Chain A
C-alpha cells in the first residue's frame, strides 16, 4: 500500500469521527499554541533587552566599589566607599583608551515646587554623563564642569519629574527644593522610556555630583564611575588600564583582591538576558507538558480506535495486508491528527501571542524557529504516542481479529 493510499484511508477514517478527531486534536492544538505563545513572550523579553543594550551603548564600562568573587557578585557590591573623586580624575587623565568618565552618586529625595511635590531619585554626575549616555536635552542646557567644581545648586530634570511638578509649564529657570534646598533648573532631558529592568529612566533629577555629595548626602566617596571607551574595540584595553590604575592608586598588593569591579554594560545586560532565557525555557517547558498531555490523548483515542476496528483489521489482514501495512495505517492516522493539530496550534499560538502583547502590554516575538520546533515536536508526539496503538493493531492475530465482536 503506498503512502498516498494510506493517507487517504487515514483521512477518511478520521473524517468519520469528526468530533472525536477534533477533540483529540484539541490537546495538540492547545499544546502547540501554548508553546508558541510562551516562547513568544520569552523571546519578546529578550529582544527588548537587546534593544536596551543597543540604546545604552556598547562601549560603556562601570566601575563599582567592592569586588566580585568568581562565579558571582558578592553581597555589598557598590556599598563600599573605595572610589574617590581623585580616582575619577585619574581615570579621565591617565587612561588612553578612556574617552570620558563620570561619577555617579545617587540618593532619593522629596522635591517640592510651589504646591507640588514628588519623590524621585537624584543622581550626581559630571556633564560627561550626558555624552556617555547620549542623552539629549529637550529644553535649556546642561550644567557645566564649572558647576561641578563649584558644587553649585543647579539641576537637569527628567521628563517624568517635569510632568509631575510643572504640569506642562516651562521649568527652565525655575527654582525647586530638593531636601528643602533650592536648586535652579537649567535644562530638561528628552524622554528615554523604560530601562531593561523596567524602571522609568525619566523619573530622575541630575545635578553636579559634588553638589549631591556635599549638600544632599554629606559624603566624599563616589557611588559608581561610568566610563566610555574610545571605541568598542578599546573596551578590553580600557578595562585593563582602569584596573591597573586603581590597583596602584588603592595600593593593593599583588596577592590581594581588587576593592573595585570594572564591568561593561553588555556584561550586565547579558546577565539580564540569561535570566530571561531561563524564563523562556521555563515557560516553554511548562507549555510542552500540555503538548505531552495532548499526545497521551491521541494514544488513548488510537487505542479505542484499534479496539473498535479490530474486525476491520482482521478483514484487511485476511485479504493480504501485512503487519506493516496495518502499522502504517494507524501510525499515519495518529500523525495526521497531531500534525493537523500542530498546524492549527501554530495559528492559535500566533494569535494568542498577539493578544497577550496587546492586553498585557508585553512585547512578544513569534520566531520561525519556535514555530518549526513546536510543529516538529507535535509530529514527534504523534509518532511516539501513535506507535504503541498501531503496533498493537499490527500484531493482532488475523483469526482472532476476524472473530472479534
Chain B
C-alpha cells in the first residue's frame, strides 16, 4: 500500500503568534509533523496547548506566522483567502463540536452545501448528498430539519457533509464534545469505518478515551508537540457498541413526540 504511506500533511517549524492588544501570544512555537495518507490521528492537549490553533491552520481557516505547511503536495501556508477557500472546499471536510448545521435547512440540503461552491449540477448534487447520507446511515431522514434530529444524528449529517466532496482529509474538532457516551461511540464508529475505507482523519479531542479510537496520538503542550505515539490498545467502536445498552430507539421516540404533525407525516411518507 504505497499510496497509503505517502505524505498527506507535512508541517515544518510552524509558528503562530497572536497579537492580543499589547501582548504577543505564542500559540505555536515551532511544530513539525507529518501525517500520512490513511492515518487516523488524535491530537490531544489541554486548552491553551495550541491544538486548536494547529487545527485551524491544518484546516486552512488560518495561516501560520512562520513555517511551512504542505497539504497534498500543495504549499498552502502562503495562499490567499480565495485559494484557501478552494482548498477547504475540495480537500478538507470539517466536523465541529457544535455540529454547525444550517438551521431550518433539511439534512439533504446541509449535505449538498459544499457542492454549491464548486458548481456541481443539481442532479449530481442530490445523488452525491444522498450517497453521503447513506454512508452515515441517515438516508431515510434526508428531509428532516436539524431540530428534528438528535445530537448524534446531527453530527452524522455533519460527517456526511464533510464527506461529500471526497476530501483528502476529515478534520474533526471535538466531535463528541456535545454528545453523550453512547452517541459518541456511534460517531467514532463512523470515523473508524471511514478510516478503514482509506480516508485520513485528524481528530482533536481532550478526552483520552476518545483518542483511543485513533491509530496515533499527538499530544500538544505549550505550543509544542510533547508526545507522538501509536495507540497500542486501540478501541473498536463497533465492538463496544455491542456491549452498551441501546438508548438510540428511545431517543427516537422522544424526538418523534416532539415533532410537528407535518414533520411526522413527512417521516411516514418517507418510510
Contacts and interface: CB of A to CB of B under 8 A. Distances in A.
Interface of A: 1-2, 5, 16, 311-312, 314-325, 398-399, 402
Given A1-B117, A315-B100, A402-B100, A321 B56 contact: no
Contact of B119 (A2, A312, A316, A399): A2
A319 B94 CA distance: 7
Contact of A322 (B82, B119, B165): B82
B59 interface: yes
B72 interface: no
Contacts of B86: 320, 322
A399 B117 contact: no
B139 interface: no
B89 A398 contact: no
Contacts of A325: 117
Interface of B: 56, 59, 61-62, 81-82, 85-86, 88-90, 94, 96, 100-104, 113-114, 116-119, 161, 165
A326 to B, nearest CB: 10
Name the 10 nearest CB pairs between A and B, nearest first. A320-B89, A322-B85, A319-B114, A320-B117, A322-B82, A320-B88, A315-B100, A398-B61, A1-B116, A318-B94
B83 to A, nearest CB: 9
A190 to B, nearest CB: 71
B102 A315 contact: yes
Contacts of A323: 81-82, 85
B121 to A, nearest CB: 10
Contact of A317 (B85, B96, B161): B85
A320 B114 contact: yes
A321 B61 contact: no
A311 B100 contact: yes
Query: Which secondary structure characterizes the binding site on chain A?
Result: helix
A399 B118 contact: no
Given A2-B119, A5-B116, A318 B81 contact: no
A319 B62 contact: no
B104 A16 contact: yes
18 contacts: A1-B117, A2-B119, A314-B100, A315-B101, A315-B102, A315-B113, A317-B61, A318-B61, A319-B89, A320-B90, A320-B117, A320-B165, A321-B85, A321-B89, A322-B86, A325-B117, A399-B56, A399-B61
A319 B101 CA distance: 11
A320 B102 contact: no
B96 A402 contact: yes
A163 B200 CA distance: 101
Contact of B88 (A5, A16, A319): A319
Contacts of A318: 59, 61, 88, 94, 100
B169 to A, nearest CB: 14
Contacts of B113: 315-316, 319
Nearest to A9: B116
Contact of B161 (A312, A314, A319, A398): A319
Given A316-B117, A318-B88, A319-B114, 9 more contacts: A312-B103, A315-B100, A318-B59, A320-B89, A321-B117, A322-B82, A322-B86, A323-B81, A402-B100
A273 to B, nearest CB: 55
A254 B104 CA distance: 88
Contacts of A314: 100
A325 B82 CA distance: 10
B138 to A, nearest CB: 18
A314 B161 CA distance: 15
Contacts of A320: 85-86, 88-90, 114, 117-118, 165
Given A399-B56, A402-B100, A319 B117 contact: yes
B270 to A, nearest CB: 21
